[in-house]
Amino acid sequence: MQSVIVHYQEIALKGRNRPWFVERLVSNIRSATADLGVLRIRSLMGRIEVQYESDEHWDEVRERLSRLPGIANFSKAVRSKCDFDVIAETALAELADVEVESFRVTAKRADKRFPLRSPEIERQLGGRIKAARGWRVDLERPELTVRVETLTDEAFCYLRKEPGAGGLPSGVSGRVACLLSGGIDSPVAAYRMVKRGCRVRLIHFHSYPILSHTSQDKVAEIAERLTRSQLDTRLYVVAFGDIQRQVVLAVPAPLRVVVYRRLMMRIAERIGRASGAMALVTGEAVGQVASQTLENMSVIDSVTSMPVLRPLVGMDKEEIIREAREIGTYEISIIPDEDCCTLFTPKHPATKARERQVEAAEQALGVDPLVDEAVASAVRREFTFPAK
Ligand code: ATP
Ligand code: MG
C-alpha cells in the first residue's frame, strides 16, 4: 500500500469554513483518482492522506493531483507507527537506494503529545542517518531534505515535495459562465476562475457552417483540458453566424464588434442565469486589441446586470501565453481557425463606441428575437474527468 500526503495552504486560512473546504478537496481528490486503485482518503490533522494500492499508479496519481486546485503541494510518503525508533527505521529504509552528500531533516509535530519536539526529532533522526550513511548535515543548502510529520497514531516520512496547482478546491466559490473563444486568452481566463474554486460553465459562439467546424473542435478540446482541473464541465455551443449576417446588414461597420460583443453578453447572461451562474467571465485585457478599450468595455457591460469578470485584465500577452502553455491550452488555441468575429469584423473598429450610437444601431437590428433564438438553439455538452 502507498500513501500520498496532500497539503493545502490557502484553504487552511478560511476559518469556520475550513471543514467544508477540506471536505470539498477530499471529494475532488476522490473523483479525480477514482480509477487508480485508491483505497481510502481521509483528512488528518491539517493534511489529507490518500492511500492507494500500488506504486504502478504513482505517475498518474501525481499527474492528476498536480492539476487539482486547492492543493499547495503533495508527497509520496511512507507511513509508520508514531514512535521515534520506528520512524527512524522507516526513514533509513526509505533512504536505502539514495546516495547524496548532504542532507537535513525537517520535522513537523502535529500532535503535541509526541514526546520529542520538532527540533529534537530533527537532531536525533539526523544523527542516526548521519551515523548510518555518513552524509554531511547541511541545514542551509541540503541536497536532500528528509521530512517527517508526526500525528497521533501515525507518522509520515517523505523525500520529495511535488508542487500543487494552488488556489481553492473546485466547487467552493459558486458558478460562473465564461465566454470561450478558440483563442489564447479566454481559456486562461476560465482556468483562473476554476483555480479560484468556481464551477466554470463555458459558452462558445460559432459561425458554422459559414466557417469551418474547427472552433467547436478546439473549444471541446479546451473544455477537456479544463475538466482535468474542475472534473466536470458544461459547454454550451451557440450558433452565431446568422446573427452576424444580420448585424452586417443593419449596423455601421465601426460599431459591429461592440454590437457582436453586446449580443454575446446578452445571450451568455441568459444561458448563464439558467444554469446558476452568478457572473460572466471574458478573456479581455485592457488595450490588448483595438476593441478592448475601457470605453468599449463599459458599453459592453451595460447590457448585463451580472458582474463581468476579466481575470486577465491587467496581464501582458506574454504572461498570458506563458500561462496558456503551463495549463496546456496554448497548443490547442494556436491551431489555425477563422474566428467568428474576424470574418465580419471591419479593419478599423471603433475604439470609443458611443452608447447612444450603439443603441440606435441595435434598435434598427432588433436584438430581442436574435437573443431568444440563439438561447433556444444552444447545444449543451458535458465533460467529466476521469471520462466515464
Ligand atoms: P481570445 O484569445 O480569448 O479569443 P481575443 O484576444 O481574441 O480573446 P476578442 O476577440 O476581443 O479578444 O474577444 C474578447 C473576449 O470575448 C474573449 O476573450 C472571449 O471571452 C469573448 N469571445 C470572443 N469571441 C468569442 C466566441 N466566438 N465565443 C465565445 N466568446 C468569445
Ligand atoms: Mg479571439
Q: What are the sequence ranges of the domains in the chain?
A: 2-163, 175-384
Proximal ligand: closest to the CA of 267: 1
pLDDT digit string, tens, across residues 75-132:
999 999 999 999 999 999 999 999 999 999 999 999 999 999 999 999 999 999 999 9
Proximal ligand: closest to the CA of 291: 1
Cell of 147: 521530512
Asked whether the domain spanning 175-384 has the same topology as the one spanning 2-163, the reply is: no
- Ligand 1 pocket check for 340: Cβ under 6 Å: yes
Q: Ligand 1 atom 10: the closest Cα is on which residue? A: 341
Domain 175-384's class?
A: alpha beta
Fold of 2-163: VC0802-like (3.30.2130)
Res 320: pLDDT:
98
Res 344: pLDDT:
65
Given a cut of 70, the residues of the chain with pLDDT beneath it are 11-14, 339-345
Proximal ligand: closest to the CA of 181: 1
Q: Do the Cβ atoms of 232 and 328 come closer than 8 Å?
A: no
Alpha-carbon distance of 305 to 102, in angstroms, equals 60
Res 342: pLDDT:
63
**Phi, then psi, of 364 in degrees rounded to 5:** -65, -35
Q: Ligand 1 atom 21: the closest Cα is on which residue? A: 179
* Cα radius of gyration (the chain): 26
- Ligand 1 pocket check for 179: Cβ under 6 Å: yes
Q: What is the mean pLDDT of the chain?
A: 94
Res 322: pLDDT:
98
| This prediction's pTM | 0.94
- Ligand 1 pocket check for 244: Cβ under 6 Å: no
- Got the DSSP string for 239-304? E-HHHHHHHHHHS-GGGHHHHHHHHHHHHHHHHHHHTT---EE----TTSSTT--HHHHHHHHTT-
